[in-house]
C-alpha cells in the first residue's frame, strides 16, 4: 500500500518511522511519503492560510497550495494505476471505525490531508470529490489542534490490518470491534507470567487447560466489560448474537431484552 501525507508539519509524522508502521515500511509492505505543503507556496512567507469569508475567528487554509500539492501527488502515481482515496481528517467528518479501517486497508493508495486552523477551503474538497473517492473522517468527538495526530491514528489502524504486517494473522481476529463471534463486545482482561504478582493471582480457569471453560470465561468477562464501559454496544447489538449463557450473565448484570428483543438495562447498575 502507498500512503501520502501532505502537511505543514512533516516532523509531526516522524512516528511513522517507528514500531509496526516503521517496520512495515522497512519491509516494503508500506510506501509512506510525507510532503511539506509549503513547498507548493510561492510567496516570501510561504503562506498557507487566510481569514475566513463571512468573518469569524481563526484562519482557513488557502485552496491554491492544496490544489498544487494534490495535483502533484496524484500525477506521481503510475500510469494506469488506481487513483488514491483522499482521507481528510476533520472533527466534522464521519466517525473512524474498525469497519472503515478494514475498508481503507483494502485500497492500494491513500492520501491524507491533515489541516491546521479552521480547516481547508471547501472548494478543495469539492474539486477532488469530483475526481476521487474522498472521505472526511473524525477520530472522535473532541477537537484537536490539527489533523496530524488523527493521521497517525488512522495509518496505524490501517497498517496493522495489511497482510503480513502483524506477525500472527490470528492477532486481529479477537480485536474489539473486529467482525465475527465477539462482534459488538469489548475484549476482556489478559494475564501473563508470573502467576503471582504483589499477592495478586490470576483467575484459576485460565490455568485449567479447559479450552471450553476458558472461552466461556473470556466471553463473560467481555460482556461485563462492555456493559460497564460501552453499554451502547449492548443496546445496539443484534440479540441473535447472545446465546443462553450470554443472556444469563446479562441478566445477572441487570440487562434483559425489551419489547423489540434488543437488550437494555432492566435493573439498577450492579456494582462490582
Ligand atoms: N482535526 C481536529 N480534530 C479532529 C478529530 N477529532 N478528528 C479528525 N481530525 C481532526
Q: Whose alpha carbon is nearest atom 2 of ligand 1?
A: 144
Question: What pLDDT, on the 0 to 100 scale, is given for residue 169?
Answer: 59
Instruction: Please give the Cα distance from 150 to 6 (Å, whole number).
Output: 13
- For the chain, what is the mean pLDDT? 95
Question: What pLDDT, on the 0 to 100 scale, is given for residue 176?
Answer: 80
For residue 212, what is the domain's CATH number? 1.10.1270.20
Low-confidence ranges of the chain (pLDDT < 70): 168-170, 173-174, 181, 270-272
Question: What pLDDT, on the 0 to 100 scale, is given for residue 272?
Answer: 59
Contact yes or no for 29/18 (Cβ under 8 A): no
| 150 Cα–ligand 1 center, Å | 6
Share of the chain above pLDDT 70, in %: 96
Query: Catalytic site residue 204?
Result: no
| 97 Cα–ligand 1 center, Å | 14
Ligand 1 atom closest to 143 (CA): 3
Instruction: Please give the Cα distance from 157 to 164 (Å, whole number).
Output: 14
Q: H or E segment at 105?
A: helix 98-105
pLDDT tens per residue across span 124-167: 999 999 999 999 999 999 999 999 999 999 999 999 999 999 97
Contact yes or no for 60/120 (Cβ under 8 A): yes
Statement to judge: residues 148 and 219 lie in one domain? no
Residue 167 lies in a domain: no
Instruction: Please give the Cα distance from 162 to 177 (Å, whole number).
Output: 17
Instruction: Tell which of 126, 159, 192 closes a domain.
Output: 159
Statement to judge: residues 106 and 20 lie in one domain? yes
Query: Catalytic site residue 84?
Result: no
Query: Catalytic site residue 175?
Result: yes
Statement to judge: residues 155 and 197 lie in one domain? no
pTM (two decimals): 0.94
Residue 213 lies in a domain: yes
Statement to judge: residues 100 and 194 lie in one domain? no
Statement to judge: residues 136 and 247 lie in one domain? no
Residue 238 lies in a domain: yes
For residue 19, what is the domain's CATH number? 3.40.1280.10
The upper half-sphere exposure of residue 158, i.e. CA atoms within 13 Å in the direction of its Cβ, equals 27
Residue 218's domain spans which residues? 181-265
Eight-state DSSP code of residue 36: E
Residues having CB closer than 6 A to ligand 1 are 89-91, 138-140, 142-144, 147, 150
Statement to judge: residues 187 and 155 lie in one domain? no
Q: Using the structure block, give the residue that is written with the C-alpha cell 468573518.
A: 55
Statement to judge: residues 197 and 134 lie in one domain? no
Query: Catalytic site residue 160?
Result: yes
| 137 Cα–ligand 1 center, Å | 8
Among residues 224, 246, 247, 226, which one has the least CA distance to residue 184?
A: 226
198-233 burial string, b = 16+ CB within 10 Å, else e? eeeebeeebeeeeeeeeebbbbbbbbbbbbeeebeb
Instruction: Please give the Cα distance from 151 to 181 (Å, whole number).
Output: 29
Count: domains in the chain: 2
Instruction: Please give the Cα distance from 239 to 242 (Å, whole number).
Output: 6
Share of the chain above pLDDT 90, in %: 89
Instruction: Tell which of 159, 190, 207 closes a domain.
Output: 159
Question: What pLDDT, on the 0 to 100 scale, is given for residue 270?
Answer: 67
Residue 93 lies in a domain: yes
Residue 119 lies in a domain: yes
Instruction: Tell which of 159, 192, 215 closes a domain.
Output: 159
Amino acid at each position: 500500500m502507498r500512503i501520502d501525507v501532505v502537511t505543514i508539519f512533516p516532523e509531526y509524522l516522524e512516528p511513522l518511522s517507528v514500531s509496526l508502521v516503521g517496520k512495515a515500511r522497512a519491509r516494503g509492505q508500506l510506501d509512506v511519503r510525507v510532503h511539506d505543503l509549503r513547498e507548493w507556496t510561492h510567496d516570501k512567507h510561504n503562506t498557507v492560510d487566510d481569514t475566513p469569508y463571512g468573518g469569524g475567528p481563526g484562519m482557513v487554509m488557502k485552496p491554491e497550495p492544496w490544489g498544487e500539492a494534490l495535483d502533484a501527488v496524484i500525477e506521481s502515481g503510475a500510469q494506469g494505476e488506481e487513483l488514491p482515496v483522499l482521507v481528510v481528517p476533520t472533527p466534522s467528518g464521519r466517525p473512524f471505525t474498525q469497519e472503515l479501517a478494514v475498508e481503507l486497508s483494502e485500497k492500494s493508495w491513500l492520501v491524507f490531508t491533515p489541516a491546521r486552523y479552521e480547516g481547508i477551503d471547501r472548494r478543495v474538497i469539492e474539486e477532488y470529490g469530483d475526481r476521487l473517492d474522498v472521505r472526511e473522517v473524525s477520530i472522535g468527538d473532541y477537537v484537536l489542534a490539527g489533523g496530524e495526530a488523527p493521521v497517525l491514528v488512522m495509518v496505524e489502524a490501517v497498517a496493522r490490518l495489511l497482510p503480513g504486517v502483524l506477525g500472527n494473522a490470528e492477532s486481529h481476529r479477537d480485536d474489539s470491534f473486529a467482525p465475527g463471534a465477539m462482534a459488538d463486545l469489548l475484549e476482556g482482561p489478559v494475564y501473563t507470567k508470573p502467576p503471582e504478582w504483589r499477592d495478586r493471582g490470576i483467575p484459576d480457569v485460565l490455568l485449567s487447560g479447559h479450552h471450553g471453560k476458558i472461552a466461556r470465561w473470556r466471553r463473560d468477562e467481555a460482556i461485563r466489560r462492555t456493559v460497564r464501559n460501552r453499554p451502547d454496544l449492548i443496546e445496539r447489538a443484534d440479540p441473535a448474537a447472545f446465546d443462553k449463557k450470554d443472556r444469563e450473565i446479562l441478566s445477572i448484570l441487570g440487562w434483559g431484552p425489551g419489547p423489540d428483543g434488543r437488550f437494555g438495562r432492566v435493573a439498577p447498575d450492579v456494582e462490582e
